[in-house]
Each structure stands twice: as C-alpha cells, then as structure tokens.
Amino acid sequence: MAAPDPVIRSATPDDARAIAAIYAHHVAHGTASYDTEPRSTLATAALISEHRGKGWPFLVAEAAGGGIAGYAYASQFRPRAAYAWACEDSIYVAPTQHGRGVGRALLAALLDAAEASGFRTMVAVIGGAEPASVALHAAAGFVHAGRLVGMGWKHGRWLDTVYMQRPLGDGTASAPA
C-alpha cells in the first residue's frame, strides 16, 4: 500500500524548528547544500517571514502521521531588478520520508505557487549534481541548462553544480505584467 500524499500548505514561522532540523541533516550528511553550518531556528523563521513578506512561496509537506516531511521555497534567482520574474527553487525532504513522493508533491505545488506569485521561469541549482534531484526536476519538465564542474568542496570531494530550468505560465512568450 502506497503512503498517502502529504498535505502541502504554506509554512509559518512556527514550522521553523522542524524545517531547521531537516536542513541541518542535509548540511551535515548531504551535498545538495554547500552550507557547512546549519541555519538556526531563528534564521529559518526569518527566512520564512521574508518569503511571506515578499509574496514568494514557502511550503511545507505534512506527513500523514503528523510532522513536517519536507519543505520547499522559491526565491528570486538574483537580487537585480531584471531577475524579478526568475526564481530558484529549494526542496528538502526529511531523511525518514525519502522515496515517498514528498519531493514530487512539494515541487508540483511550488511550481503552481511560484507562477501565482508572478514568476515566469524557475531555475534548479542542484548542488552536488544529486541524481535524485536531477531526476525529480526532469520529471517535472525541467531541462538541463548547464553544469559547473568542481564548484564546491564538501565531504572530502569536489562537487559539480547542475542547472536546470522550466518556464512558468507564459514563460518568455510575453512580457511580464
């Protein structure tokens, strides 16, 4: 029997402790993040509030049994004004929830929420060129946009970064509003 789909909802600062714990695991054990020190609960709450204040999506997936199974958010790709319609996604799944469709559900909801926020393209910057993340994004319609070789050093090895991209809504077919 397959696990039920998680409930996706907007994150609140009250979710910061669970989100920070998920991120800390990925910082300590993974290569998706090039951070070497985890973000604090306070900094995580500030990140959630910043996204809410700018109208950018920050989502959590609640597991069927309760608790946060993962989270995802979209941020403007770069701070300069011309990038206002391009966003970068971030998706992290709790280690106990891998392989249960949490990442897929989060990404699908994030694509819709980012488009509703006015973004016209989403970029995935995949640290460590993580094969599961590349596959997740490809399944959601992202295409390969580039690879930067040896961009990070973590866990005793050089890491590549893969860029993937997907249009949202009209993409580049029309001018933004």
Cβ(107)–Cβ(57) below 8 Å: no
Higher-pLDDT residue of 154 and 3 is 154
- pLDDT tens digits, one per residue of 68-107: 999 999 999 999 999 999 999 999 999 999 999 999 999 9
User: For the chain, how are helix, strand and coil distributed in percent, rounded to 5?
Assistant: 35, 30, 35
- pLDDT above 70 (res 44): yes
Mean pLDDT of the chain: 95
Give pLDDT, residue 64. 80
How confident is the model over 131-175, as pLDDT tens digits?
A: 999 999 999 999 999 999 999 999 999 999 999 999 999 999 999
Rounded Cα gap, residues 165 and 42, in angstroms: 31
Maximum Cα interatomic distance, the chain, rounded to a whole number of Å: 48
Tell me how far the alpha carbon of residue 10 is from its chain's centroid. 14
Q: What is the pLDDT of residue 65?
A: 79
Half-sphere exposure of 138 (CA within 13 A, CB side): 10
Domain extents in the chain: 7-124
Q: Which CATH class is domain 7-124?
A: alpha beta
Hey, what are 121's tokens?
């393209």
Q: Has residue 4 got a pLDDT over 80?
A: no
CA distances 24 to 40, 73, 87, 168, Å, are 9, 16, 23, 30
Mean pLDDT value of segment 55-75: 94
pTM metric for this prediction: 0.95
